[in-house]
A and B are shown apart, each in its own frame.
Chain A
């Protein structure tokens, strides 16, 4: 068993979660590699009562017809609040992974269905892949999003059948062998297998207005023979989900998708193909268990290798949630209606990653797709917003980085103060000349002269806030 260091634990928390406070990182370090991974993955055992109490006090999402209490911003506020305040970081990160994988968007789908889909993803996030995929195939939001509800036997709609294969399970070509995984004929035949899959609304008397039921309309379902992947049978949609989940191409595609989201991007090299095969084998041997796949990846030497460190570009949600959590900034979602804080939905929209509303069915593209001049400036503006979020009352609704929080992290001299904040916001490894520039920044007066740094209150309010902004603008902070 390799040593499990503070940096290892910080790396694990940045990836399986959004990043830890120094205390969380220390607690995680003490558990060792396997113990730390097991604790993150077995999140159901972690008491999340404090979060649930905040959620109960801050939201009323019981009636989707009450648009003052149930709307897009409210469900975004709800999920982002969970991400910031949860003790079960992996639960929210994994739900975000699946939301991005089975990307469905409120741009087309009513928020009530988006909300239900989010719970489905959260509840089944660690199931067998077959089980999750079938839940999604029957999910009202997905049936609307990819036109399943209008897919009828007279003239099938191919939208779901295509993306089911291309994006949700195996890809156009096998990610290891490069062979074509399916034909246009398979798309058409699979579309037929799902004809008649639709939803029926809750009864007029049903108080649960979310209660849409999945049904197969026998009049619209094509029950004739279909030929899929060279096999001919009277395939149902359920049969197709099982067939797809059992394909080696699916094992490889899901293993790669998971690995690249949580560990590092893979190339076409033989080493990286072997990495995909190794984790595809775990998927197969565990009977398609997502939990087994997750555990294998997070405990692997690949995950803790030098190549994995800071190898991923943070998504905007990771920037926002991570910086709040790492700094221990105050966040209060506010209470129902009256003083709800829309700060988190607003900043995520500003940074182009609105939860519940990915740009298209392929989800948010990773890594350098997040990086362009507009998004960089927006990230820096968010950094400034957080760094300068003074609040006379940190218990008030909204986001604040209080003087006391900054004071706790500020040390007696410029060097130690820079190191303290670089550690908390990563820990980030930054070259010595940049560290020196940051130190000089702390010591400069308004004319740019170096006059020294003393950690008094006015200096903390100006210079330490400025330092947080500058560190969050560093290239090193954009990766995790």
Chain B
């Protein structure tokens, strides 16, 4: 966890130039104090923003309704193979999108759990409200604290250093915490407190003045208080991060021009070089495929290319490279990957070669700790089973996926974090 005000004040007392050397002290401390519970158990969350089309991710290839609702978008059975002609079928009625060959390989190795029909009751078709529901694990989308922020407040608060982080220039609501600042890291090389290059001899004076100013207290709860704590944590954490990630090296080549791969590579660098890192969060956008989700440049719909296919390919290739990197560094047994999106998409295609907002969706949980296979139940596409907007009904409450991970992997207390007890879905035993 990023440094809390209390710890910072305690540790900086009597020290003139805190920023330059204290991080090593913290590192030492964090290794000395064994954090409770979830030692060596780490999680990486991948959020697909915009509403991933679950029906074209986990494809019900024997369902005649899938084909009648999606005359242009539905994958024909003959298309369900990868570019090396290997089958994408994962069961007698489900197949993965042909762009997901790497995840299919992991699935075949038993490292992928796919939970079908995940959603919640009275689903919102608003991106923003539905994201809030998932972020906060509150069905009204209310409350300013995220479910992972609550976990971090409970389980990671005593860890020093960067035990949780979001990769990117924003902090997802899942990581909003009440007791701690979780850092966002967009670019390692720029994650630093920089002063006038014309006067390097003045650096320490500036850092001291900044540190003094950011050690103040502001009225709790006000913007200024949050800004001040974040600023302080940023500068302190930066020193530590710079030192750590510089030691990363890897033989894994992450795919180029793949923003998710770039983010997961940063996550890997942190996980590999900072032993206290336990919770990382990455995001990939552009899943809101209301139009042109498949390619049609030739005049004919081509499901094997286009926006959705490209995004899913990014996901698959990035996850595989990340997994390989962790594996080569001996961390594959320690890391669980959870993927989610705020909703799936409408079973019936629109006239724009796209799909409007939907409801229940498939979730992927990936890693060595997982008991691979299919969980939950793919929702019925029969007309009578769809809601008035034409969307599917959920079969698995998303909070039971959270609960399974909290209880069975992170050794957290799902009931206190989620407010209720949810069933164990079983993908972690």
Contacts and interface: CB of A to CB of B under 8 A. Distances in A.
B196 A374 contact: no
B324 interface: no
A374 B223 contact: no
B210 A473 contact: yes
A150 interface: yes
A158 B356 contact: yes
Interface in B277-315: 285-286, 288, 290-291
Contact of B168 (A371, A374, A433): A374
Nearest to A183: B388
B170 A431 contact: no
A222 B190 CA distance: 53
B238 interface: yes
A380 interface: yes
B226 A368 contact: yes
Interface string A135-167: 000000000001100111011111100100010
Interface string A429-455: 001011001101100101010000000
Nearest to A310: B224
B213 interface: yes
A475 B197 CA distance: 23
A313 interface: yes
A184 B388 contact: yes
Contact of A470 (B16, B206, B230, B286): B206
A340 interface: no
A108 to B, nearest CB: 9
A374 B183 contact: yes
A377 B354 contact: no
Most chain B CB neighbours (cut-off 10 Å) among A156, A310, A376, A461 = A376
Interface string B102-136: 00000000000000000000001111110000000
Contacts of B214: 475
Contact of B198 (A312, A374, A461): A461
B197 to A, nearest CB: 7
Interface stretch (B24-32, B247-255, B344-352): B344-352
Nearest to A369: B170
Contacts of B350: 150, 155-158
Interface string A376-395: 11101100100110100000
A376 B227 CA distance: 8
A155 to B, nearest CB: 4
Contacts of A376: 227, 230-231, 234
A352 B196 CA distance: 23
A466 B196 contact: yes
B171 interface: yes
A342 interface: no
Contacts of A444: 205
Nearest to B169: A352
Interface residues of A, number: 69
B334 interface: no
A155 B351 contact: yes
Most chain A CB neighbours (cut-off 10 Å) among B124, B168, B223, B348 = B223
B128 A362 contact: yes
Nearest to B228: A475
Nearest to A436: B212
Given A378-B190, A380-B193, A373 B237 contact: yes
A448 B16 contact: yes
Given A448-B16, A479-B223, A372 B354 contact: no
Nearest to A381: B194
B202 interface: yes
Interface string B195-238: 11111011011101110111010100001101110110111011
A384 B196 contact: yes
B2 interface: yes
A155 B351 CA distance: 5
A372 B184 contact: yes
Given A375-B169, A444-B205, A446-B202, A367 B223 contact: yes
Contact of A373 (B16, B185, B213, B354): B185
A359 B127 CA distance: 13
A373 B234 contact: yes
Interface in A86-101: none
B205 A371 contact: no
A387 B2 CA distance: 29
A172 interface: yes
Contact of B184 (A151, A187, A375): A375
A148 to B, nearest CB: 10
Contacts of A154: 351
Contacts of B235: 377, 380
Contacts of B183: 372-374
A203 to B, nearest CB: 25
B351 A159 contact: no
Contact of B202 (A373, A462, A479): A462
Interface string B159-192: 0000000101111000000000101111100111
Contact of B205 (A157, A158, A162, A441): A441
Interface string A341-384: 00000000010100000011110000111011111111011001
B389 interface: yes
A36 B288 CA distance: 44
A362 B342 CA distance: 15
Nearest to B209: A441
Contact of A157 (B170, B286, B352, B389): B352
B191 A377 contact: yes
B289 to A, nearest CB: 10
B166 A372 contact: yes
A372 B196 contact: no
A474 B206 CA distance: 12
Contacts of A369: 170
A39 B185 CA distance: 43
B320 interface: no
Interface string A180-191: 000011011000
A365 to B, nearest CB: 8
A14 to B, nearest CB: 15
Contact of B125 (A184, A312, A350, A352): A184
A470 B291 contact: no
Contacts of A380: 193-194, 231, 235
A72 to B, nearest CB: 17
B150 interface: no
Given A373-B183, A431-B216, A479-B227, A152 B196 contact: no
A373 B233 contact: yes
Contact of B349 (A155, A184, A434): A155
B194 A438 contact: no
A473 B213 contact: yes
A147 B196 CA distance: 47
A377 B194 CA distance: 8
A352 B171 CA distance: 13
A469 B195 contact: yes
Contact of A381 (B129, B190, B388): B190
Given A438-B209, A475-B224, A479-B224, A462 B349 contact: no
Contacts of B265: none
Contacts of A350: 190
B393 interface: no
Given A150-B350, A372-B183, A374-B186, 12 more contacts: A157-B352, A352-B186, A360-B49, A373-B191, A377-B192, A378-B186, A384-B194, A446-B202, A448-B205, A465-B198, A470-B206, A478-B224
Which 4 A-B residue pairs are closest in the complex by CB-CB distance?
Answer: A150-B352, A373-B234, A372-B184, A373-B183
Interface of A: 107, 146-147, 150-152, 154-159, 162, 166, 172, 184-185, 187-188, 310-313, 350, 352, 359-362, 367-369, 371-378, 380-381, 384, 387-388, 390, 431, 433-434, 437-438, 440-441, 444, 446, 448, 461-463, 465-466, 469-470, 473-476, 478-479
17 contacts: A147-B291, A360-B50, A368-B226, A372-B183, A373-B2, A373-B234, A373-B238, A375-B169, A378-B169, A380-B231, A381-B194, A388-B197, A390-B198, A441-B206, A466-B206, A475-B216, A475-B224
